[in-house]
């Protein structure tokens, strides 16, 4: 063997989703793309806001010496100031540019945060169902993943979380609005978690960090708002991405923001900056840093996603599927009509419908629909969804 | 302690260069930026080629649905094809898009390569003087760094390399044109290394990979060309960046290319793609991928760097400094007139001249001048350089 054994093992583990993906490509070739209903990927299909393109063209045309040179590892001061102002305004917790490190999306942000925090064997709690990349991110730094279930309505379960916190617990990662459930944790739910973490930190005499993965904060429906974790908990760190807010996941731009009173703030921010550098990110893409600085309050048209959600929820409910209605993001986490979700996903595949089994998110018995697709894909898939649930009855 | 112990230790180790950097900022505040001669950073000061801006504006204005969406983890097929064509043409080794993975610069590329290859305890050889980030990159994946000196003229020393190759050796990293010496390894030198690696791979019955860090390939002087490692050695991997070729290090765009007959090619490329994903890079920035696809044969005006090199070399030689004339890149590695290079660097600092001690590159007794600065900085620093060498006599 020549490649890393750990990576070799990860490649085989990942192969189920890859096979699904390859099956999709084959299906599209055979039947035509419009006859295949691909709900497998969270790649936003709502186009970026007009303001983004306007700003891109303006910045592209600007004459600035060495405009595309290295930025400070933490990012441009102007961009970090703009981010700090926005966070201060929306959360009521005053932070400044020193508490912000620009990152290559939320994926880059989470990796930088975990590398900064973890010693080998340190434990990080994630909640089932979880974003499929979290275990990789934690194990990248020889951390140990501790899985905790959420409640039946996918809200946080502080009692269950309490039971797995040990001396080795370094952090917990939460994601609200949630991928794959669309759940937005309530203010009370977050405050209960914060109370638990404060109590545990006191008893253990060391901080248990709350890491909030927040790429979907602005993608919320029916007037729901996402409670601020900075407001609720001092030892909190935000991993943010513009990927969904501005529909530019391919451009890899986001940030890390820490609570101004976080434990060992200076050390932590220096660690975040060092890790950004030595992991080879070096700095978040320079051009995108300039652009997002001026787009702090711009968001894609969320109504488009809300309409897609309604279209999908109405259709699936009518066909007899059971699911909690998503309050944000663009995922629906549906109860599989048969216990074996992988088998059910294969049944859908026969009707050219691609979704991801809940097992991939640590939650067998469910499947995930990513509804960031065009309306005809949703509408034309309904016959297939209805036919498959009937086959199960 | 709350942050990672390893990262905490790295922060203190890095502090010398940071202190130098901070000293520079303080000096510029006190004396004015034009009175401080900052040769400490390899941030290209030659502006990007006209073609880059033209292409940036063209692509920015293009109407393509979801233009900024996720790309495949390996990068756009069109971009990888363009890269493969260029490599095939310039090296004579026919590769295709399947052998290319787009990356976030060479720093990102090297991290992805090392994570793909290394099991804990695997050894990676680097050559003194070395780019300061290599030890971090290797230790990120629990690899063990093995240091080998180059010859007095900074060329590769196959006999010395031979002595450190063991069962645990996974790879050797070379960098030509070299940072910090400006050395370009000759065709014969590369072929001697390749012969050694082939022989060792045969005896050990496992490949020893040759990783070429090639951000400076196009920054060469006096008609020198950089011999192709693909041509010389089958188990070779290129980490390339457009940072210097197009003067856009802040945009984080580069690629990994593997020899088409590299050991376990499929596994290795799958590992590179998986690691790009799970390390949080996800994909190289999408917009830049589109742009560089059409700029494969465009390069900054290298004559500008060559003139700076000559200006600097002539001035320093006249003052009595000893150094090999750089054949590429934009660094000069100068013998310190006194054995203690850190002390000498402090003496230069008193004349507002900022350079980096050779100790930082594993090579005490030297210092590095990054000459990617404007001509007046070079010219106006000469009195200071001359005064300090006199103080040593």
B55 in Cβ contact with B295 (< 8 Å): yes
Best probe of the B interface among A3, A48, A117, A137, by most B CBs < 10 A, is: A3
The whole model's pTM is what?
0.97
Taking an 8 Å cut-off on Cβ atoms, the answer to whether A117 and B4 are in contact is yes
Best probe of the B interface among A131, A140, A250, by most B CBs < 10 A, is: A250
- Residue B193, in any domain of the structure: yes
Is residue A177 reached through a cis peptide bond, with omega within 30 degrees of 0 on the bond before it?
yes
Among chain B residues, CA nearest to A209: B2
User: With 0-12 CB in 10 A as exposed, 13-18 as middle and 19+ as buried, what is A149?
Assistant: middle
**pLDDT tier, A189 (very low <50, low <70, confident <90, very high otherwise):** very high
pLDDT at A17: 62
User: With 0-12 CB in 10 A as exposed, 13-18 as middle and 19+ as buried, what is B279?
Assistant: buried
Mean pLDDT, range A90-94, rounded to an integer:
96
The domain containing residue A217 runs over which residues? 51-293
Taking an 8 Å cut-off on Cβ atoms, the answer to whether A267 and B56 are in contact is no
The C-alpha atoms of residue A350 and residue B25 are separated, in whole angstroms, by 64
Split into its structural domains, chain A has a count of 2
pLDDT at B27: 87
pLDDT at B25: 77
DSSP of A329-380:
TTEEEEE-SSS-HHHHHHHHHHTTEE-EEGGGGT-TTEEEEE--S-HHHHHH
Among B245, B272, B293, residue at a domain's last position: B293
Mean pLDDT, range B351-380, rounded to an integer:
95
pLDDT at B1: 63
Task: Say if residue B223 is in the same domain as residue B101.
Answer: yes
Token digits of residue B54: 């033209």
**pLDDT tier, B42 (very low <50, low <70, confident <90, very high otherwise):** confident
Planar angle of CA B367, B368, B373, nearest 5 degrees:
140
The three state secondary structure string of B305-317 is HHHHHHHHHHHHH
What does the mean pLDDT of chain A come to? 95
pLDDT at A19: 67
Residue among A10, A57, A69 minimizing CB distance to B250: A69
pLDDT at B43: 85
B335 in Cβ contact with B366 (< 8 Å): yes
At residue B14, does pLDDT exceed 80?
A: no
At residue B12, does pLDDT exceed 90?
A: no
- Helix or strand holding residue B144 (H, E): strand B144-149
In chain B, the percentage of residues whose pLDDT exceeds 90 is 89
Taking an 8 Å cut-off on Cβ atoms, the answer to whether A107 and B282 are in contact is yes
- Residue B30, in any domain of the structure: yes
Task: Say if residue A154 is in the same domain as residue A254.
Answer: yes
Phi, psi of A346 (to 5 degrees): -65, -35
At residue B150, does pLDDT exceed 70?
A: yes
At residue B109, does pLDDT exceed 90?
A: yes
Task: Say if residue B284 is in the same domain as residue B158.
Answer: yes
- Helix or strand holding residue B380 (H, E): helix B375-391
Task: Say if residue B196 is in the same domain as residue B341.
Answer: no
Among A293, A310, A344, residue at a domain's last position: A293
Task: Say if residue A262 is in the same domain as residue A160.
Answer: yes
Contacts of A283 in chain B (CB under 8 A): 250, 252
The C-alpha atoms of residue B262 and residue A77 are separated, in whole angstroms, by 44
pLDDT at B83: 98
**pLDDT tier, B142 (very low <50, low <70, confident <90, very high otherwise):** very high
Check which CATH number belongs to the domain holding A331 and give it: 3.90.1150.10
- Residue B59, in any domain of the structure: no
Mean pLDDT, range A288-297, rounded to an integer:
97
Distance in Å, alpha carbon of A309 to nearest chain B alpha carbon: 20
In angstroms, the Cα distances linking A2 to B135, B146, B199, B201 are 21, 19, 17, 11
Task: Say if residue A271 is in the same domain as residue A322.
Answer: no
- E-strand stretches of A133-216: 144-149, 169-174, 209-213
Among A249, A264, A293, residue at a domain's last position: A293
Task: Say if residue A269 is in the same domain as residue A366.
Answer: no
Task: Say if residue A160 is in the same domain as residue A233.
Answer: yes
Token digits of residue A181: 């459930």
- The total number of residues shown for chain A amounts to 393
Task: Say if residue B156 is in the same domain as residue B281.
Answer: yes
pLDDT at A12: 78
- Residue B57, in any domain of the structure: no
Check which CATH number belongs to the domain holding A211 and give it: 3.40.640.10
Task: Say if residue B116 is in the same domain as residue B231.
Answer: yes
Among B227, B231, B131, B224, smallest CA distance to B179 is for B131
Among chain A residues, CA nearest to B273: A11
pLDDT at B308: 98
The pLDDT tens digits for B302-334 are 999 999 999 999 999 999 999 999 999 999 999
Residue B338 CB neighbour total at 10 angstroms: 14
Among B113, B147, B75, smallest CA distance to B236 is for B113
The pLDDT tens digits for A371-383 are 999 999 999 999 9
């Amino acid at each position: 063997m020549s490649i890393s054994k750990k990576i070799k093992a990860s490649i085989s583990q990942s192969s189920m989703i890859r096979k699904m993906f390859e099956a999709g490509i084959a299906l599209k070739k055979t039947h035509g793309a419009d006859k295949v209903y691909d709900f497998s990927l969270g790649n936003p299909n709502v186009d970026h806001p007009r303001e983004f393109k306007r700003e891109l063209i303006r910045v592209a045309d600007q004459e600035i010496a060495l405009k595309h040179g290295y930025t400070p590892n933490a990012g441009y001061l102007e961009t970090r100031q703009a981010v700090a102002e926005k966070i201060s305004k929306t959360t009521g917790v005053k932070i400044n540019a020193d508490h912000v490190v620009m990152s290559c999306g939320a994926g880059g942000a989470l990796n930088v945060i975990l590398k900064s925090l973890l010693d080998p064997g340190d434990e990080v709690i994630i909640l089932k169902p979880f974003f499929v990349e979290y275990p990789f991110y934690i194990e990248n730094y020889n951390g140990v993943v501790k899985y905790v279930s959420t409640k039946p309505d996918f809200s946080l379960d502080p009692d269950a979380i309490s039971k797995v916190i040990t001396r080795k617990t370094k952090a917990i990662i939460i994601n609200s609005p949630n991928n794959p459930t669309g759940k937005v944790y309530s203010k009370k739910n977050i405050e209960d978690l914060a109370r638990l973490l404060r109590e545990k930190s006191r008893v253990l005499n060391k901080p248990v960090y709350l890491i909030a993965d927040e790429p979907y904060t602005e993608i919320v429906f029916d007037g729901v708002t996402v409670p601020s974790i900075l407001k609720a908990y001092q030892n909190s760190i935000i991993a943010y991405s513009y990927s969904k807010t501005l529909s530019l996941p391919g451009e890899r731009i986001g940030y890390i923001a820490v609570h101004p009173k976080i434990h060992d703030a200076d050390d932590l921010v220096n660690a975040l900056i060092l890790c950004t550098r030595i992991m080879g990110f070096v700095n978040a893409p320079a051009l995108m840093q300039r652009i997002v600085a001026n787009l702090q309050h711009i968001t894609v048209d969320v109504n488009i996603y809300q309409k897609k959600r309604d279209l999908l929820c109405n259709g699936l409910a009518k066909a007899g599927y059971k699911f909690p209605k998503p309050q944000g993001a663009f995922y629906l986490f549906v109860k599989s009509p048969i216990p074996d979700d992988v088998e059910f996903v294969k049944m859908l595949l026969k009707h050219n419908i691609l979704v991801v089994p809940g097992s991939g998110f640590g939650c067998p018995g469910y499947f995930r629909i990513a509804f960031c697709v065009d309306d005809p894909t949703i509408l034309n898939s309904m016959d297939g969804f209805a036919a498959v649930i009937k086959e199960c009855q």
